[in-house]
Amino acid sequence: MRRKRPPLAERLKTALQEGIEYARGERELKTTLVPVARDFTPRQIIAIREKRGLSQTRFAHLLSVNVKTLQSWEQGVRKPSKPTMRLLQIFDSPADFQPILMVSDAPAKRPYARKHK
C-alpha cells in the first residue's frame, strides 16, 4: 500500500527545520558529486566508439539513435543532445561515474555520498 504524501506546507516546514539544523552544525548533509558535463568533438565521438570496438551500427543502436544520426555527429554536421553528450561522457570515462552507477541489493553506505560540516 502506498503511503500518503504529507501536505506541501508540512514538507516545507520540515525542510526549513533541517536547513536550520544544518546551519547550526546540528545536522550533516549527504551530497552526490557528479562530474561536470562535457561536449565532444566529432573526432572524440569516433574515438569513444573505436575504444569500445563498436561499429557505427552497433554504437548507434546502443545509443538508441539512427546510424545516420551518429554519422552526422562524427562528421560534425550535427551535435548530440545534452543527454547524449552525458551518455558519451559515461562511455568515455566510466570510472568517473562508477560510484554513482553502483547498484547493491543490500542497503549500504553510498560511497559517493560526502558529508559536509
Residue 85 lies in a domain: yes
Residue 8 DSSP one-character state: H
Residue 91 lies in a domain: yes
Are the C-beta atoms of 35 and 87 separated by less than 8 Å? no
Residue 83 lies in a domain: yes
Q: What is the pLDDT of residue 113?
A: 45
Place of cell 574515438: 47
Total domains in the fold of the chain: 1
Residue 94 lies in a domain: yes
Residue 21 lies in a domain: no
| Domain range enclosing 49 | 42-99
pLDDT in tens, the chain (117 residues): 678 889 999 999 999 999 999 999 999 887 778 889 999 999 999 999 999 999 999 999 999 999 999 999 999 999 999 999 999 999 999 998 888 887 655 544 544 444 544
d(CA 72, CA 74): 5
Q: What is the pLDDT of residue 110?
A: 44
Q: What is the pLDDT of residue 30?
A: 76
Residue 9 lies in a domain: no
Q: What is the pLDDT of residue 103?
A: 67
d(CA 113, CA 102): 12
Residue 78 lies in a domain: yes
Q: What is the pLDDT of residue 33?
A: 80
Q: What is the pLDDT of residue 104?
A: 59
Residue 75 lies in a domain: yes
Residue 77: CATH number of its domain: 1.10.260
